[in-house]
Structure 1
Amino acid sequence: MKKAVVLLSGGLDSAVALYLAQSQGFDVHAISFDYGQRHNRELEAAKSIAKKVKVSNHQIVTLKLDKWGGSSLTDSKLEVEDGNVERTDIPVTYVPARNMVFLSVAASLAEAIGAQDIFIGVSQVDYSGYVDCRQEFIDGMEKAINLGTVMGAEKNQPIKIHAPFVNKTKAEEIKLGEELGVDFGLTWSCYRGGDKPCGTCDSCLLRAKAFAEAGVIDTSL
């Protein structure tokens, strides 16, 4: 089986991406990040998802992005603001260059294990100011990865970044997840952590809107 590295945050997008990779016959190696985020609830979700689908390997990499903050997800001095699904500005939850860092580490893992495929569950359709969720960013990172790895630059074994939902809405993604048998009850999206989702942050509002549009019950509630 061909190996694939899947970025698994524990959220809705990454869970569907993981199930999709498995459905396409990939031997999945999941990677999650303890980056100094406000809570560890999403990492617990990632562990549960990886265990349920029996990935070949699940690694949690420590990257302390909270050392310099710059986001309400990594800086205790900043509050997670209430959400606005019509937002067009960059939210305070944006973590500087997060996906750039994550994909760079995923590329290192991919080259180490001989995987030519990386999956990430970003979408530019439900865009909320996250510049690292756009197709042009994914294309740029793929080019940089193949210029900066032996696999891509010397061995003619280019690494492909799969962003299967980049042009899909969350509702479309949820419908796909239903078809794939994703256990949505194991996923976590809330920015604030806790035992139950807050229901008012950007991520909670976008999730609720998407499940309603898809006509699917969110079993995490």
Structure 2
Amino acid sequence: MKTIVICSGGLDSVSLAHKVAAEHELVGLLSFDYGQRHRKELDFAAACAARLGVPHQTIDIREIGRHLSGSALTDDVDVPDGHYAEETMKVTVVPNRNAIMLAIAFGVAAAGKADAVATAVHGGDHFVYPDCRPGFIDAFQTMQAHALEGYADVMLHAPYVNVSKAEIVADGARNGTPFAETWSCYKGGERHCGRCGTCVERREAFHLAGVEDPTEYDDPDFWAAATSAFSAEEVK
């Protein structure tokens, strides 16, 4: 199955790229520059493509991103600290981001005669992002079947949509993913901050998976307190 992977350069999508390379025919990685503050992640996507020996394209949609205002990922809004699944993390939503990226990716796949587009959305995303949930994935596939009817038959491959981040770490380890060569932190500093939602989720995932975390964090211990605080709120 000739597959294009949407790769941000993060742990999930790089793990997915390695998974697809091992199980299918990886024909390229596709990234998007939407004006994200942590755009250094794109360098990690490029490095992943080079490592796997496939083409890498970065599509510039910054003009679109400029109109999707109000998110801490694109605007001058503080990225909150804490557990990824907390209500405060909704400030990191970029409206319709996945739908826009997937629509472009499906066009690229159809034009290039690929069989599938793979995306690394996962179960942990369901709390915050409506365009990462199984209902969206199923509906998008149905929509694309109509949009490309008679021209191309492209499948949406989302193998992580119902699994946890810890399971992605375990899967990535099985496929030889070099986790140190991935970027998650939304703050985009020199090192992972260790405090934002994606850093907390990343650190927690390695812990739960029983896999050594090679990431350098400015605050490597914050995740434990953030996770405990979130769990305590969930019990109430």
What is the TM-score with the length of structure 1 in the denominator?
0.92
Alpha-carbon offset, residue 50 of structure 1: 1.2
The equivalent of 1:59 in structure 2 is 57
Equivalent-residue separation in structure 1 for 2:173 and 2:23 (angstroms): 16
Partner-residue secondary structure (3-state), 2:90 = coil
The equivalent of 2:135 in structure 1 is 136
Amino acid at match of 2:19: L
Give the unaligned 5+ runs of structure 2: 217-236
2:104 aligned with 1:108? no
Amino acid at match of 1:132: D
Alpha-carbon offset, residue 81 of structure 1: 1.1
The equivalent of 1:83 in structure 2 is 82
Alpha-carbon offset, residue 121 of structure 1: 0.3
| 8 Å CA contact retained: 2:85, 2:128 | no
Alpha-carbon offset, residue 27 of structure 1: 3.1
Give the unaligned 5+ runs of structure 1: none
More helix by share: 2
Equivalent-residue separation in structure 2 for 1:135 and 1:219 (angstroms): 31
Any idea what the Cα deviations from partners look like across 1:100-150, whole Å, max 9, x if unmatched? 00100100100110112110000124533111110110111111111112x
Alpha-carbon offset, residue 93 of structure 1: 0.6
| 8 Å CA contact retained: 2:3, 2:25 | yes
**Aligned residue-pair number:** 214
Any idea what the Cα deviations from partners look like across 1:5-52, whole Å, max 9, x if unmatched? 100000011011111111113132110001011132111111111111
Partner-residue secondary structure (3-state), 2:92 = coil
2:170 aligned with 1:175? yes
2:54 aligned with 1:69? no
Pairwise mapping of residues 192-203 of structure 1 onto structure 2 (< 5 A)? Answer: 192-203=187-198
Equivalent-residue separation in structure 2 for 1:15 and 1:154 (angstroms): 32
Q: Indicate the larger mover: 162-171 or 23-32.
A: 23-32
Pairwise mapping of residues 149-188 of structure 1 onto structure 2 (< 5 A)? Answer: 149=148, 153-155=149-151, 157-188=152-183
The equivalent of 1:120 in structure 2 is 119
Equivalent-residue separation in structure 1 for 2:134 and 2:24 (angstroms): 24
2:208 aligned with 1:213? yes
Equivalent-residue separation in structure 2 for 1:207 and 1:193 (angstroms): 15
Equivalent-residue separation in structure 1 for 2:68 and 2:29 (angstroms): 26
Partner-residue secondary structure (3-state), 2:91 = coil
